Amino acid sequence: MKLSGQVAIVTGAGRGIGKSIALKLAGDGAMVVVNDLDATEAEATVSQITHAGGVASSFAGNIAHDDFGDEIVQFSVQTFGSLDIIVNNAGYTWDAVVQKTTDEQWYAMIDCHLTAPFRLLRAAYPILKEAHQHDQSEGRRRHRKIVNVSSVAGMFGNPGQASYSSAKAGVMGLTKTLAREWGRINVNVNCVAFGLISTRLTADVRDGETVQIGDANIKIGVKSDLISRMEQDIPFKRMGTTEEAAGAVYVFCIPETNYVTGETLLCSGGLLAP
């Protein structure tokens, strides 16, 4: 197992892409801290991992809260003794054309998709630096991995998603900067930009599913005719699965990519723009 003995944080891992990432990393030996806004969903992912023989622990909480980054980093170290992999995956969409986007919507997307990863990584830096210094004292080289999640919307823009697209573009800038700053402590910082992946965020909006974020009850999903048009622009003529999405993240976590940093991998089935 390539990730045996390593400790990974995966945010938004109660369902969808995050859950598949947590299962993938745990299946290759990582001890996983499973975060989700919904404690029940987080525990369900942990249960699935442990029933398969893996090791995991849940940490429920809203990534956008000011102290979340510090708290989950401390929990990871206290629970498993180290920190080796961070996957900043959690997120949701709150769409509107720009002239109808409120300040609340704008900051909700920026806080969730950009500020929260920044705070988590800032909190993790002392742990990662200390681990690197310990490696040096023992005469060994070891790489630790950060994988941030972006979107084709951040690369190309998408109508109705000014705030989301801006935040996801910012994630790529954060990735490139930290790759340059953290190479000296042997931390690889990369990014995966997803296209159309089959989750509840890309289900038919007419199903009426919502997410409760604080006091806001937000409708999620996409119009089925828009999904159909986008699928026609994908060479495979279908959405990706969460397992396929997790595979793209996994690539950046294994030793084979120890000399890859500051990159954004487009996982979209060939879809170049929404």
- Please identify every residue annotated as catalytic: 164
Distance from C-alpha of 22 to C-alpha of 161, rounded to nearest angstrom:
27
Distance from C-alpha of 42 to C-alpha of 30, rounded to nearest angstrom:
17
Distance from C-alpha of 14 to C-alpha of 5, rounded to nearest angstrom:
22
Give the DSSP per-residue string, 125-178: HHHHHHHHHHHHHTT----EEEEEEEEHHHHH--TTBHHHHHHHHHHHHHHHHH
Count other C-beta atoms under 10 Å from residue 145's C-beta.
Answer: 24
Interhelix angle for 39-51 vs 16-27, to 10°? 30
Phi, psi angles (nearest 5°) of residue 216: -95, 130
The alpha carbon of residue 62 and the mean position of all alpha carbons in its chain are separated, in whole angstroms, by 14
Residue 113 DSSP one-character state: I
